[in-house]
Structure 1
Amino acid sequence: MTDTPVTDARVPAPLQEAAPTVTAAAAADHHLPQFHVRLPRGYVNDPNGPIDIGGEAHLYFQSRPRVDLDVPVEWGHATSDDLVHWTLHRPAIVPLPGGADSGGAWSGNTVLHDGVVRAYYSGKVDHSPFQSVLLAESTDGGNTFGAPVQVVADPAADEAITMFRDPFVWQHDDGWSMAVGAAAADQVASVRHYRSADGIDWTFVGDLVTMPRETVHGVDTGEGWECPQVITIDGSDVAIVASWSHADGPGDVLAVPLTGDPRPYRIDDGQHFYAASVMRTGSWGPVLFGWVTEGRTPQWTEQAGWSGAISLPRRAWIEGGRLRTEPHPAVDVLRAGGPTSADGATIDAQAEVVLHDPVTGRIRFRFSDTEFLDVVVDTDADTLTVDRSCASADPRADRSPAVVRRPFDGASDRPAVRVLLDGSVVEVFTSAGRSVTTRVYPVQAPPWTVEAPTGATWWPLGGPVDPVFRSARS
């Protein structure tokens, strides 16, 4: 995929054989999330190829050891047996100098084939107009991968393709399918479809879905689609794509039904969710992750020394023809004590607040007298608004609001509103399976307080897990 402004040809970083040292400044940074997969320092973006290997979740992600987009991207690696407590490992794929990914090992996914973990991904070479589709294999359970080989030909010149990247492979019928994101010179976005009997020799069979650039319900569908994913739930196929344009870069994550109504829609209504990645099958059912982007200036991010995180795992389902998500039930292990009344509660930088019924009012996270985040419910307008206009006294923080229309499902047993706060990361979920992922950067450090309608409850986040990621020799 393509970076947001703030990272690519690179000398491999030194292997980390022990827990990375966290500087005193980072340790005191209350904006650092503690329960979202990230690096202690450096740059994190797209989640790649989450896979269940023998009951252990392996999550790969785009990473750089520094907040420097000139450093070629590699595949970071974390594992978990519960989707919550993660162990960081050495990078699983590092660009090979002079190789097919010398300019960066970009986005893709993983599959298990006869005991071998196969990583399909985009390899960047600085002089090439495309990121070529590569295959690298792991025979040690997904910890390290061998040298990559190109397995799909780049588009021909007469196809007028201007962007081509991010393979997604899944087992289908008696063989394998691959989706690759593309943009054309006439601003037609597409998900190209390839088939293979063995996962090595691939044939282009047409487009899974294609769409001229347009605005649908206020959403720009993009001139191209990157990071395509295909999820199948109860017999329904949905393509998940990240809208993109040459001029503006990343846009929104869209769901495009492959059966039924083909109109795309956003799967997260926040400003800071991009490049979704799905675990189609496994011990935890269909699971979705996303890249939590930054909401502050590049200069501030570089000063902090870290950027980006991976969203909490989300359970995905289809209802009323729409892909919906909520925090995966595994996330509940983070709840420590409680629940207790939220109104007037004193909280740290990690907390969950739940509004059980949709009542007009607001949940306010008060950081200081002048800094606060409001999650506003308006039952008459049938909207939920995440208002960040006063969330930071620092002018370098993004203050734009997010609005969800028709956010509630009265027939659901899910809470009307569920807000998870982890440092600067805010994830909001509603009873209709809608979500808002956003960022806040209050100057005031915790403790903070909560003001909430009667009946709202809260939990500190901590539970039986250590909030600091473990690092393993691998």
Structure 2
Amino acid sequence: MTQTQSVHRSSGTVAHLRPAYHVRPPGGYLNDPNGPIEHGSDVHLYFQSRPTLDMQVPVEWGHATSSDYVRWTPHRPAMAPQPGGPDTDGCWSGNTVLDDGRIRAFYSGRVESRPYQSVLTAVSDDGGGSFGPAHQVIPDPSDPAIIFRDPFVWKENGTWWMVVGTGYVDRGASIALYRSTDLSQWTAVDPLAELPRTSVAGEDTGSAWECPQVLTLDGRRIAVVSAWSPEGGPEAVLSFDADVPPAPQRVDHGTNFYAASAMRESRFGPLLFGWLQEGRDRPGWTDGWAGVISLPRVVWLGADSSVRSAPVPTVDTLRTGSTSAGAITAQCEIVVPEGSGRVVIHFGEQERLEIELDADTVTIDRSHASLAPHAHDGRMQATDAFDPSSNRPALRIFLDGSVVEAFTSAGRVLSTRVYPTTRPPWRVEGPPGTQCWLLAP
């Protein structure tokens, strides 16, 4: 999108839709999370952002830190485009690594006149608060690629590796792969994975892969990619074993999770963050902000080799008390301990979100969630959703203004956005034992 729109500041009719404990800047546009990394006692999270909703403003790296992964302190942007430099039209997505104790970023620099985004690196000498001048480390592809962007760097068995998202008309989606001994000189090797565009279990695998990430789970290299096509744009986040022919599976079964960003190591183990896109048409962005980062998710492999997720354990510290008579605010957690049944979040007389637990399936229906003309509706579903032996509740639903993230006991997750016009308090009904917690950042 390139159109601009005048911005109206929040009024009482939309203020309740603003997320409070999810990461987002005070205003403007946010999309991909970038380079989460632990440094000392803090975790640094970077993300694509613009100070306004004008999509022609070059993107920069926003910045937030946390000591517990759930309470975040926003900072000034850590990286901004250098006029006349290799990222003059935008500091696009990438990740960070520790290099002799310093945080080093790898990212895509956009120059509008160039066909591809250059793979750049820059170093922070102030503990991650800002990054110095950038320089290019990977040449543009020699073959005519559809895209070439979003580097991800990691160290494995003493060797540095880098993947870059790409795709080709004749070969399909691809993950370019490079190796290095010093983070400076990089050698291209065979692609980590490729797949001609197809449909797997109803999922479009994309003509190119953005934001490739590589995790090591159960001793296997697991690729996490964001399927993309020139005509359709973002599709879904998919994962697969990178050392065998790709068999992609969906990472999030909701409607609004994209551009996953991985932490290979953290105090909680491997994590994923994601961009929760807006679930409303552009004319509905009337309150001066758009986009939010998901809760950080602990990830593991299910029996079917799919990536499963649960919120970081410290999310429990956001609880300030349970509610009575099913009354909730816009920031709450709804816990269904076991069994099947139906959860309904009543926003108003004509607005409700319906969540069905049935056998091994969870379904979220937002067909009646909003009377707003620009809000999206529809249903989403995940199977193999429940594992009574996991010691996790059957379902945990995190509500934060317009954000909904639902985690099942088997590690399925569905993320979506809702835009009720009715202001809180709202009301919840659910199966016996359902508990509601108020949350505060």
TM tier relative to shorter chain: over 0.9
Equivalent in 265, 270, 291 of residue 286 of structure 1: 270
- Structure 1 residues 369, 240: closer, same or farther in 2, change over 3 A? same
Q: Secondary structure at the match of 1:161?
A: coil
The answer (yes or no) to whether the contact 2:10–2:288 under 8 Å persists in 1 is no
- Structure 1 residues 316, 227: closer, same or farther in 2, change over 3 A? same
Give the residue type in structure 1 aligned to 2:334: V
Residue matched to 1:96: 82
Q: Secondary structure at the match of 1:337?
A: strand
Residue matched to 1:212: 196
- Structure 1 residues 336, 438: closer, same or farther in 2, change over 3 A? same
CA distance in 2, matches of 1:234, 1:269: 23
Cα deviation for residue 454 of structure 1 reads 1.1
- Structure 1 residues 266, 297: closer, same or farther in 2, change over 3 A? same
Q: Secondary structure at the match of 1:304?
A: coil
Cα deviation for residue 411 of structure 1 reads 2.2
Residue matched to 2:306: 322
CA distance in 2, matches of 1:73, 1:66: 10
Residue matched to 2:416: 438
Residue matched to 1:122: 108
Q: Secondary structure at the match of 2:231?
A: coil
Residue matched to 1:363: 343
CA distance in 2, matches of 1:392, 1:27: 13
CA distance in 1, matches of 2:350, 2:96: 46
Q: Secondary structure at the match of 2:332?
A: strand
Cα deviation for residue 76 of structure 1 reads 0.2
Please list the CA deviations of residues 196-249 of structure 1 after superposition, one character each: whole Å capped at 9, or x if unmatched.
Answer: 110011111111111010000000000000000001123121000000001111
Cα deviation for residue 410 of structure 1 reads 2.8
Q: Secondary structure at the match of 1:336?
A: strand
Equivalent in 162, 179, 186 of residue 178 of structure 1: 162
CA distance in 2, matches of 1:6, 1:29: 24
Give the residue type in structure 1 aligned to 2:332: A
Give the residue type in structure 2 aligned to 1:38: R
Matched, 1:250 2:250: no
Structure 1 unaligned blocks of 5 or more: 8-21, 468-474
Q: How high is the TM-score relative to the length of structure 1?
A: 0.89
Please list the CA deviations of residues 267-298 of structure 1 after superposition, one character each: whole Å capped at 9, or x if unmatched.
Answer: 00011000000111132321110001000010
Give the residue type in structure 2 aligned to 1:103: D
Q: How high is the TM-score relative to the length of structure 2?
A: 0.96
- Structure 1 residues 124, 24: closer, same or farther in 2, change over 3 A? closer
Cα deviation for residue 395 of structure 1 reads 2.1
CA distance in 1, matches of 2:288, 2:91: 22
CA distance in 2, matches of 1:26, 1:36: 20
Q: Secondary structure at the match of 1:107?
A: strand
The answer (yes or no) to whether the contact 2:62–2:77 under 8 Å persists in 1 is yes
State how many pairs are aligned.
437
The answer (yes or no) to whether the contact 1:61–1:75 under 8 Å persists in 2 is yes
Cα deviation for residue 115 of structure 1 reads 1.9
CA distance in 1, matches of 2:140, 2:344: 51
CA distance in 2, matches of 1:24, 1:290: 25
Residue matched to 1:14: none
Residue matched to 1:138: 124
CA distance in 1, matches of 2:306, 2:29: 32
Mapping 1:22-421, distance limit 5 Å: 25=11, 29-156=15-142, 159-186=143-170, 188-259=172-243, 262-301=246-285, 303-320=286-303, 321-338=305-322, 344-359=325-340, 361-379=341-359, 382-421=360-399
Q: Secondary structure at the match of 2:320?
A: coil
Cα deviation for residue 160 of structure 1 reads 2.5
Residue matched to 2:403: 425
The answer (yes or no) to whether the contact 1:55–1:283 under 8 Å persists in 2 is no
CA distance in 1, matches of 2:230, 2:392: 40
Cα deviation for residue 458 of structure 1 reads 1.3
CA distance in 2, matches of 1:51, 1:413: 29
- Structure 1 residues 142, 195: closer, same or farther in 2, change over 3 A? same
Cα deviation for residue 383 of structure 1 reads 1.8
The answer (yes or no) to whether the contact 1:348–1:447 under 8 Å persists in 2 is yes
The answer (yes or no) to whether the contact 1:44–1:307 under 8 Å persists in 2 is yes
The answer (yes or no) to whether the contact 1:189–1:222 under 8 Å persists in 2 is yes
Q: Secondary structure at the match of 1:411?
A: helix
Residue matched to 1:447: 425
Residue matched to 1:11: none
Structure 2 unaligned blocks of 5 or more: none
Please list the CA deviations of residues 303-357 of structure 1 after superposition, one character each: whole Å capped at 9, or x if unmatched.
Answer: 221000000111111231221101110111111223x67xx41111011111111
CA distance in 2, matches of 1:358, 1:32: 32
CA distance in 2, matches of 1:274, 1:285: 21
Deviating more after overlay: 107-116 vs 282-291:
282-291
Deviating more after overlay: 44-53 vs 407-416:
407-416
Please list the CA deviations of residues 161-208 of structure 1 after superposition, one character each: whole Å capped at 9, or x if unmatched.
Answer: 121000000012222000100010225101111001100111111111
The answer (yes or no) to whether the contact 2:10–2:287 under 8 Å persists in 1 is no
Q: Secondary structure at the match of 1:330?
A: helix
The answer (yes or no) to whether the contact 2:28–2:51 under 8 Å persists in 1 is yes
The answer (yes or no) to whether the contact 2:195–2:246 under 8 Å persists in 1 is no
Cα deviation for residue 23 of structure 1 reads 5.5
Cα deviation for residue 27 of structure 1 reads 10
Please list the CA deviations of residues 376-397 of structure 1 after superposition, one character each: whole Å capped at 9, or x if unmatched.
Answer: 1122xx3211000000011210
Q: Secondary structure at the match of 2:122?
A: strand
CA distance in 2, matches of 1:189, 1:26: 45
Mapping 1:14-25, distance limit 5 Å: 25=11
Cα deviation for residue 262 of structure 1 reads 3.3
Please list the CA deviations of residues 354-407 of structure 1 after superposition, one character each: whole Å capped at 9, or x if unmatched.
Answer: 111131x2100000011000111122xx32110000000112100011111221
Give the residue type in structure 1 aligned to 2:328: I
- Structure 1 residues 175, 290: closer, same or farther in 2, change over 3 A? same
